[in-house]
Amino acid sequence: MPIFRNARFEVSIAKSGALPPPEGAEIAFAGRSNAGKSSAINTLADHTRLAFVSKTPGRTQLINFFRLDCGAVLVDLPGYGYAKVPENIRRQWQGLLEHYLRKRENLIGLVLIMDSRHPLTPLDRQMIDWFVPGGRPIHVLLTKCDKLSRNEAAATLASVRREVAALGPQISVQLFSSLKKIGMEEVEHKVAGWLGLPSDDLPAIPTPAQLRAAGK
């Protein structure tokens, strides 16, 4: 069962004081503005307009909560690092992110979206630093991997894996593309594991040979 399918919008909030009561395990999606976070959520949810996708960076300015069929919650955090946002607003968003990542008791894991062409920016490292002390896992999606050659993608994956190994013990990394739907099963398996859902119900992760045969 693809766990993100049928995600239903529940609520949006703009201030940490207004967080909804913690009901069900939360899986947060975070990423630099324009990294492809909304596209990844829409692709995983199999819903073209669940999360807003735009060509103008910095559009997701709220924390959006989506309920999954299994009862868990997908949390879409505001994109960070967009240069044209005024400093005071940027500080306010970062405060909201820090509060949520450090303090949210039912937050069990973080999916961190990075553009595979610009991984591990200083703010990505900041998110990792805020989250790692809680001991909960982080799964990095190196998205837009359709824009890299096969060799570039493999080299990026290896170097990001090497770098995050030094930042915390619970950080995993994979390639992803919303455009080509690459890497969906891998992230579904990972998050199902966090939620303690049986991964027998999930489709098997295709082997590299199967992916090549499918032209991906």
Ligand X SMILES: Nc1nc2c(ncn2[C@@H]2O[C@H](COP(=O)(O)OP(=O)(O)OP(=O)(O)O)[C@@H](O)[C@H]2O)c(=O)[nH]1
Binding site: what residues are annotated? 31-38, 58-62, 76-79, 143-146, 176-178
* 8 Å CB contact between 25 and 74: no
Q: Which spans of this chain sit near ligand X (rule: CB under 6 A)?
A: 31, 33-39, 53-55, 57-60, 79, 143-144, 146-147, 177-179
Please state the closest distance from residue 91 (CB atom) to Mg ion, in A: 20
DSSP state letters, 170-213: TEEEEE-BTTTTBSHHHHHHHHHHHHT--GGGSPPPPPHHHHHH
State how far the Cα of 10 lies from the Cα of 129, in Å rounded to an integer: 29
Q: Is 34 in the site for Mg ion (CB under 5 A)?
A: no
Residue whose tokens read 């069929």 = 69
Binding residues for Mg(2+): 38, 60
Tokens of 129: 């630093």
Among 32, 36, 38, 109, binds Mg ion (CB under 5 A): 38
Closer by beta carbon to ligand X, 93 or else 130:
93
**8-13 and 73-76 strand pairing:** unpaired
Query: Which residue number places its CB atom closest to Mg ion?
Result: 38
Please state the closest distance from residue 178 (CB atom) to Mg ion, in A: 11
Closer by beta carbon to ligand X, 51 or else 108:
51
Among 34, 42, 43, 60, binds Mg ion (CB under 5 A): 60
Q: Is 39 in the site for Mg ion (CB under 5 A)?
A: no
- Cα 58 from chain centre: 16
Please state the φ and ψ torsions of residue 143, each to the nearest 5 degrees. -90, 180
Contact set with Mg ion (CB under 5 A): 38, 60
